[in-house]
Structure 1
Amino acid sequence: MSDWIDSFYADVDAQLTERVLDRFTTDGELVFGNNPPAIGRDAIREVLENLRAALSGMRHEWCNRWTVDQKTLVLEARVHYTTRGGTEVVLPCATVVDRDSSGLITSLRIHIDAAPLFAALDAESVTAQPESVASHEVSG
């Protein structure tokens, strides 16, 4: 199971959306923090692409990994997110992964307080706005 986790999260950390999606059933579910579930590959793709657009990188630092049975994993990590502006936000996280008999993910539930990450993204967004307004005023 450890090889599967390492391989899957190498794709997650590299933000390889299609390779991550290939690990889900067609009606798989992804829940990130307190956001509504993304159900199905198209909805999951949208979540992953939005995250990829906001980040220049991420890395999972494993604290604990438990195999409940051949279908369920519980993972504890510190996730290092790097925003496009270069801010690193490290958040504790617990994830529950359920897989079907073929090994595809039916449900991946990420229990995380993402508020610090969104605050960093918002701060970068606010910081970037005055520059664009200033350059517009100069040219306008």
Structure 2
Amino acid sequence: MAEPVVAAGPSVERVFRAVDAMDAEGLGALLAEDARMVFGNAPPLVGRAAILSDCLTFAAAIQRMEHRVLRHWVVGADTIAEARATYTRLDGSGVTIPVVSIWTARADGLISHYRVYYDPSPIFA
């Protein structure tokens, strides 16, 4: 019996281009309407609108961010990206921290589940 065909999700480059640009519209175009997103051990954000609202709130607390992807893997519908993220604080200082992002795409290629594993405390220290 053949394995079911699973659509590949958005590329690592496309996801981090939207994230690093703090482009809510661009990120929203990659998410399913009912997507779930979890940052570390925070409660899940459910729905595109909730995810984008939270991302805009975070973006207002920093000047910029940039992810440097070290490695990534695509396994079926899942993409795993190991990166170093550099955040520029509002005072102009910066900090770089390790981040692992995992997202799962639906058959239509939109992200249904997005998980980000990192410790954001150094950003606001």
TM-score by length of 2: 0.88
Flag the 1:61–1:2 CA change in 2: closer, same or farther, 3 A: farther
1:6 aligns with 2:8: no
Number of aligned residues: 118
Q: Which letter maps to 2:97?
A: L
Residue of structure 1 equivalent to 2:60: 53
Pairwise CA RMSD of aligned residues?
1.6
Superposed, which structure 2 residues align to 1:30-45 within 5 Å? 30-45=37-52
Q: As a proportion of its length, which structure holds more strand?
A: 2
- Distance apart, 1:57 and its partner CA: 0.6
Residue of structure 1 equivalent to 2:3: none
1:67 aligns with 2:67: no
Identity over the aligned pairs, expressed in percent?
Answer: 31
Flag the 1:2–1:106 CA change in 2: closer, same or farther, 3 A: closer
Distance 2:41 2:87 in 1: 18
Higher relative contact order (CA 8 A, sep 6+): 2
Greater gyration radius: 1
Please list every run of at least 4 consecutive aligned residues from structure 1 whose deviation after the TM superposition is greater than 4 angstroms: none
Q: As a proportion of its length, which structure holds more helix?
A: 1
Among candidates 108, 114, 118, match of residue 112 of structure 1 = 118
Residue of structure 2 equivalent to 1:133: none
TM-score by length of 1: 0.79
Q: Which letter maps to 2:88?
A: T
Q: Which stretches in structure 1 are left out of the alignment for 5+ residues?
A: 120-140
Among candidates 11, 18, 21, match of residue 25 of structure 2 = 18
Cα deviation code 1:92-128 (max 9, x no counterpart) = 0111110101110001100001111132xxxxxxxxx
Q: Which stretches in structure 2 are left out of the alignment for 5+ residues?
A: 1-7
SS in 2 for 1:101: coil
